[in-house]
Structure 1
Amino acid sequence: MPDARAVDPLGGARLAAIRRRTVWVLSLGQTLGGVAFGATVSLGALLAADLSGDESLSGLAAAAVTLGAAAFAIPLAALARRRGRRPALTSGLGVALIGVILVVIAAGSRSFPLLLAGIVLIGAGQAANLQSRFAAADLATDASRGRDISIVVWATTIGAVLGPNLIGPGEVLGDALGMPRFTGPYLFTVVAQVLAVALFLAFLRPDPLVVAGQLAEGGHGAVRTTVARADRPVAARYAILAIAGSHGVMVAIMAMTPVHLTHQGASLSIVGLTISLHIAGMYALSPVFGLLADRWGRVRTILLGQALLAASLVVSGLGQSSGAAVTVGLVLLGLGWSAATVAGAALLVEASGEAERTRRQGRSDLAMNLVGAGGAIAAGAALGWIGYGGLAFAALAIVAVIALLSPRGRRSA
């Protein structure tokens, strides 16, 4: 097993230092990954419309990267289980780099199929970014698990905000270098991904998942309880349901909001502001929900997330003709997603025995991405059939299912 020179399982102080170092390395890597991914989504839609000659196909870029993230979720989790987090994370980012190169080649050769293939590979980088939040929990204690996950999730905010703002400078740089249209910003993507790979290779040492495995095999006492715990399949399945269901609700409403606001006569600046506030709701307060998950309980915080999602859907549904109400609804949507996914990830980690942990994490990311893609597709059809308000009220059914299936009070949970 790699990183055999990991710490003595009995070194509690040393273990805490490794845990803190791991969280900050993952947070910086998440920031770099967010920079790379933030520009990719916007550019992919533009390139898809340009190369296909059909604006209706621009949405295939987002679908391709989501399906790519889903496709790589389980293989990267399996690699982490065999070799550790560092090989898994760097492999995902490396595959994404190949995808970026293919996208640039596709733009130069005007090949739409090659473009989609490249974007699918870029999804591996998104899968690695999702895995980072679980890596943050590998060595966490019950008192710090939610907080550690939430710090890594919060770091995404920086990249998500910075990435799209690099499109303009990237186009200028790309024009100066004679690159194909809409591909200049990928220079920043390449730099960010390379820096993230170098960061993980150099500083994600010792590998947190390898250390966790060593603790489970040979540790004892308080230190061993950090990673060695009883398997609770009911709670684990509920965590996967909560994460995937909350993500599906969020994506369905968020994806249709720009279309709805545009139909209501809102300007592009208003649409942009609404989505920006929604993204802020998703990430900015994640440390708060991490602390709540640690101190108040994982399931309670998931249920708080469902309450916020329900409030969002009611406000958006009843106030669908008001831009202000829709904006408030989108902020609540982001907050509900944040509470559910941070607490859900913490619950999944602590409800899974060491032998099942990474396997379930891969399944969770797979379900999250597939449900998100399905939610976006279904929402498009629902918008034309029952309208934005009807879509919001229909999504309440998913929230209700997650709340009603809560395992609180069950011994098997």
Structure 2
Amino acid sequence: MHLKGRLVHVTDVQSDKLQSYITSSENLKSLYKRTLIIVSISQIFGGAGLAAGVTVGSLLAQQMLGTDAFAGLPTALFTLGSAGAALFVGRLSQRFGRRTGLTAGFIIGGLGAIGVIISAILNSIILLFLSLLKYGSGTATNLQARYAGTDLANSKQRAKAVSITMVFTTFGAVAGPNLVNVMGDFALSNGIPSLAGPFILAAVAYILAGLVLFIMLRPDPLLTARTIDATNQISKDNVQLTAENTENKRGIIVGATIMVLTQIVMIAIMTMTPVHMKHNGHGLCSVGLVIGFHIGAMYLPSLITGVLVDKLGRPVMAMASGITLLLAGLISAFAPGDSMVLLVIALCLLGLGWNFGLISGTALIIDSTKTSTRAKTQGAVDVLIALSGAAGGAMSGMIVAGSNYATLSFAGGILSLVLIPVVIWALKEKK
């Protein structure tokens, strides 16, 4: 009886808290800001974990396999792993809330990074591939965390909310590649192959990201938003909110297409850039610098991008993504292999184009979904994004092995132009 009384009391307290967010716009605004801060903190760690695999994954596979033909496999594998994780995290979040789904995803990613370290020590290709699949869970979770910041945002704040969390990802994502040498030396001093060093950072970073969310993300933003929407829909006067809380399938298709195309182009070119640089005499430090600039361009402009997406509209910024990725592909294709400056410019444009596409596409998905099925739909869309990235990573090595890096970059740039007719089609259908 005593236990039952305590449970009733806890339920009543939680109910009172939720009621305070429904009845007070100030309390809801405060919770929205607090949620953004917590998610942003986790993104700093998540960004550092993400950067490890991007920077040295292809080089580690090249070293262990002794060939360039499969150098794109690590990116393909952890991106493929992120596809399964996106579905898992999305469904878990749908049922139990963002806190549970995101925590589980980051912890699994951290365990995958530990597996990569062990595989390098044992020189086990099979363990490496299996571990990279699990490591991809961190990548998927890092991407899905952007949705958590938007659950309590209104329609005019959504792109900005996405952008704020992505800006904080920059701190970890830029620091990660530039710690390649430091972590490599640390690994060697402990009897671990140097290329596995960045995965030590990834393991710690992903697990810390999960712990931050598990401890601090209370009350859960998705469950709170769902409760608020359900309460508001009972009111017959709130016709506008009810209309907003309906699903727009065309918007979901267009948003998903934008993000899928940008992911294919970005992953394909980025994956083979370290291998291309190594063949042209660049050291690991230079590779880390270029990838650091690239990842910085993927996330740092987000705050400005978010404002532009909210003000200029999703379609305008989606088309800007296609044009920017085209420029990145052309510069990568025609730049001399020994030119650090042009490689930095190309990879920065590649990251910026991806940024435009991700934020505009994400905003479209959020606009087009309802809270009762939002996390599940977002997870399904992120599965497509991850699978497209896996395809881009796998094909990139084969294209370069059969032709060259210039062909890969040029093809990627041309493919990005598909975004423009997709957006024009969507606008015509809307009219």
TM-score (norm 1): 0.87
* Rounded Cα–Cα distance in structure 2 between residues aligned with 1:226 and 1:281: 38
Structure 2: where are the runs of 5+ without partners? Answer: 1-10
Match of 2:376 in 1: 359
Partner Cα separation in structure 2 for residue 14 and residue 69 of structure 1? 35
Q: 1:7: which partner in 2? A: 18
User: Any stretches of 5+ residues in structure 1 without a counterpart?
Assistant: none
Equivalents in 1 of 2:411, 2:199: separation in Å?
38
User: 1:238-296: CA deviations, max 9, x gaps?
Assistant: 10000010111112222333444555666666555443332222122111110001111
Residue 304 to residue 167, structure 1, CA distance change in 2 (3 Å)? closer
Tell me if the contact between 1:150 and 1:286 (Cα under 8 Å) persists in the aligned partners: yes
Aligned residues: 410
Matches within 5 A, 1:146-165: 146-165=159-178
Rate the CA distance shift 1:265–1:167 in 2: closer, same or farther, 3 A: closer
Contact 1:282 1:334 in 2 (8 A): yes
Alpha-carbon spacing, 1:185–1:388, altered in 2? closer, same or farther (3 Å) = closer
Asked if structure 2 preserves the Cα contact closer than 8 Å seen for 1:138 and 1:227, the reply is no
CA contact (8 A) 2:80 2:387 kept: yes
- Give 1:78's aligned amino acid: R
Deviations 1:349-397 (A, max 9, x none): 1112234422221122111121112123333333455644443443344
Distance 1:169-1:346 versus aligned 2 partners, 3 A rule: same
Q: CA deviation at 1:69?
A: 0.7
Q: 1:330 aligned to 2:347?
A: yes
Question: Which residue of 347, 355, 369 maps to 2:386?
Answer: 369
- Give me the whole-angstrom Cα distance separating, in 1, the residues matched to 2:389 and 2:127: 24
The structure 2 residue matched to 1:77, chosen from 83, 90, 94, is: 90
The aligned residue for residue 398 of structure 1 is 415
Q: In the TM superposition, what is the alpha-carbon distance from 1:155 to its structure 2 partner?
A: 1.5
Mean Cα displacement is larger for which, 257-266 or 23-32?
257-266
Amino acid at match of 2:176: G
Residue 223 and residue 214 in structure 1: after superposition, are their counterparts in 2 closer, same or farther (change >3 A)? farther
**Could you tell me how far apart the structure 2 residues matched to 1:299 and 1:71 are?**
29
Task: Pick from 182, 190, 193 the counterpart of residue 181 of structure 1.
Answer: 193
Quote the residue 2:131 is aligned against. Answer: 118
Q: TM-score, normalised by structure 2?
A: 0.84
Q: 1:141 to 1:366 in 2, by over 3 A?
A: same
Contact 1:309-1:333 at 8 Å conserved across structures: yes
Measured in 2, the distance between the counterparts of 1:6 and 1:153 equals 29
1:339 aligned to 348, 352, 356, which one?
356
Partner residue in 2 for 1:233: 249
Compute the displacement of 1:88 (Å): 0.2
Change (3 A) 1:347 1:105: same
- CA distance in 1 between counterparts of 2:225 and 2:96 reads 12
Which deviations, in whole Å up to 9, do the C-alpha atoms of 1:2-22 show, x marking residues without a partner?
965652223211111111111
Amino acid of the structure 1 residue aligned with 2:360 = A
Hey, what's the Cα distance between the residues in 2 that align with 1:392 and 1:49?
20
Sort the Cα spacing of 1:75 and 1:5 in 2 relative to 1 into closer, same or farther, 3 A: farther
Distance 1:248 1:73 in 2: 17
**Does structure 2 retain, via aligned residues, the 8 Å contact 1:215–1:227?**
no
Q: Could you tell me how far apart the structure 2 residues matched to 1:159 and 1:130 are?
A: 14
Deviation at 1:346, TM superposition (A): 0.9
- The 1:10–1:411 alpha-carbon spacing in structure 2 relative to 1, beyond 3 Å, is farther
Is the contact made by 2:252 and 2:365 (CA closer than 8 Å) also made in structure 1?
A: yes
From 265, 271, 291, give the equivalent of 1:275: 291
In the alignment, does 2:367 pair up with 1:350? yes
| Cα-Cα RMSD | 3.1
Matches within 5 A, 1:376-391: 376-383=393-400, 387-391=404-408
Matched, 1:208 2:221: yes
2:326 is the alignment partner of 1:310: yes
The question of whether the paired residues in 2 share the 8 Å contact of 1:142 and 1:226 is answered with no
Q: Alpha carbons of 1:219 and 1:274: their partners in 2 closer, same or farther (altered >3 Å)?
A: same
Aligned mates of 1:85, 1:307 — CA distance in 2: 34
Q: 2:243, 2:149 → 1: CA distance?
A: 12
After the TM superposition, which residues 109-148 of structure 1 pair with which residues of structure 2 at under 5 Å, given as runs?
Answer: 109-148=122-161
Which one is further off, 252-261 or 294-303? Answer: 252-261
Q: Secondary structure at the match of 2:153?
A: coil
Query: How much does 1:208 deviate?
Result: 0.6
| CA–CA distance in structure 1, aligned partners of residues 61 and 86 of structure 2 | 24
Deviations 1:28-71 (A, max 9, x none): 10111122232344454565456x45354554333321111111
The answer as to whether partners of 2:248 and 2:369 remain within 8 angstroms in 1 is yes
Give the secondary-structure state (helix, strand or coil) at the position aligned to 2:18.
coil
Question: 1:77 Cα shift?
Answer: 0.3
Moved more, 200-209 or 164-173: 164-173
In 2, are the aligned partners of 1:301 and 1:340 still within 8 Å (CA)?
Answer: yes
Which residue in 2 is equivalent to 1:245? 261
Which deviates more, 257-266 or 148-157?
257-266
Classify the secondary structure of the residue corresponding to 1:405.
helix
Q: C-alpha distance in 2, partners of 1:104/1:409? A: 48
Aligned-partner Cα distance in 1 for 2:72–2:248 = 39
Q: 1:255 to 1:122 in 2, by over 3 A?
A: closer
Q: Which has the higher helix share?
A: 2
Q: Report the Cα distance in structure 2 between the residues aligned to 1:274 and 1:173, rounded to whole angstroms.
A: 22
Are the equivalent residues in 1 in contact too, given 2:152–2:221 (CA < 8 A)? Answer: yes
Between 127-136 and 300-309, report the one with greater CA deviation. 300-309
How far apart, CA to CA, are the structure 2 residues paired with 1:319 and 1:15? 51
Distance 1:4 1:172, change over 3 A: farther
Could you say which residue in structure 1 is the equivalent of 2:302? Answer: 286
Indicate the SS of the match to 2:32.
Answer: helix
